[in-house]
Amino acid sequence: MKQQLFPALLLWIALTVILEALAVKVDIYVVPKSDKGEEIDFAFRYLMYLAIPVFAMVIAVLLTSAVGGSAKFPEEDGPAHLGRGAAPMTWFVLTALLTVAIMIYPGLITTPKVAGKAKDPDVRVKVEGVQWTWLINYPDAQVDGAREIVLPVDATVRFDITSRDVLHSFWIPSFLMKIDAVPGLTTTVSLKPTEEGSYQNDPNMRVQCAELCGLSHSRMTVPVRVVSQQEFDEWVRSKQTGPAANQTPTGPVQELTIIAKNITFDTDTLSVAAGSSVKLTIDNQDAAIPHNFALYASEDAAKKSEEPLAASKLENGPVKQTLVFNAPAAGTYFFRCDVHPTAMTGTFVVQ
């Protein structure tokens, strides 16, 4: 046993130096773009540096024991090792000090900062999870049904999060913040975006469900955009009018009906004449399940969360809605239910 201590010590030192150097040089982490994300990132790196010597010691002991140990199984138990002496006691003291250090930082210092809730935020965003999308509202700005989260840079933002059906998890990778969306309970995340950016340039700028919640769990995303205060104010003003719905008819009215049942539309193709106005009845027959009808210029436009050409509100069934809009120019368009963007889709033909 004692003759293996020196090789194990040398191997431990070598592994620790190599792994610490790799931890410093190799950057595999998401760049944090929020104030609390920066706190979390620093704490994670700090814990990584502290964990490496412990990990290296375990590997060093295992390797030296495997290489230097006897290949034969003893016929009887060997002498007991009680862990006394300078080496075990030194290791115990050092690991105890590491534990106390971690309890203080990040435990007692960083955790309250990250978990703290802003009582008077600059922007309040209400987020509801529903299989399989996020319903976004800005109650203080009277913006309902947003299809993206837009935030002003360097402003304090509070997310009030809940779920309409099952357990979801609200996660924005670039902000390094995550919290469960629980039915019947409102959870809260507060943070300050520190850098402008968007999902178009950074795929980590998105809301992603991080709790397995059903068939389209992986597609339960909403893009996030951080902009200047002026651009945010302009966006709010543009959204306060609501989605394009129930327009004044400008041509002969063509009546259509589409039925939503068992999380599918009864048809995947709707056709209207060019120059006509459309009176569409959306018959949602799914009890307690929200559906809507949203018409987009293309499937790509829908995926990018561009504004729909026309859209009804999200409402739980059973319910019938009437959507009146003027048909766009001749061509082929894309429609979907915004809550079920993969299961409920179709083609809207104007000819």
Q: Which residues contact 105 (CB under 8 A, 6 or more apart)?
A: 43, 46
Give me the pLDDT at residue 73, please. 62
How many alpha carbons fall within 13 Å on the CB side of residue 134?
A: 33
pLDDT tens digit sequence for 127-184: 999 888 898 999 998 888 788 899 999 999 999 999 988 999 999 999 999 999 999 9
Query: What are the residues facing 274 on neighbouring strands?
Result: none
pLDDT tens digit sequence for 191-248: 999 999 999 889 999 999 999 988 888 888 889 999 999 999 999 988 875 555 567 8
Give me the pLDDT at residue 131, please. 84
More confident residue, 336 or 339: 336
Residue 313 has pLDDT above 90, yes or no: no
User: From CA 293, how far away is CA 305, in angstroms rounded?
Assistant: 14
Give me the pLDDT at residue 85, please. 73
- Band the pLDDT of 2: cuts 50, 70, 90: low
pLDDT tens digit sequence for 26-83: 888 888 999 999 999 999 999 999 899 989 989 998 888 888 665 566 677 767 766 6
Whole-model pTM?
A: 0.74
Residue 278 has pLDDT above 60, yes or no: yes
Q: Which residues contact 11 (CB under 8 A, 6 or more apart)?
A: 60, 63, 64
pLDDT tens digit sequence for 316-334: 889 999 999 999 999 999 9
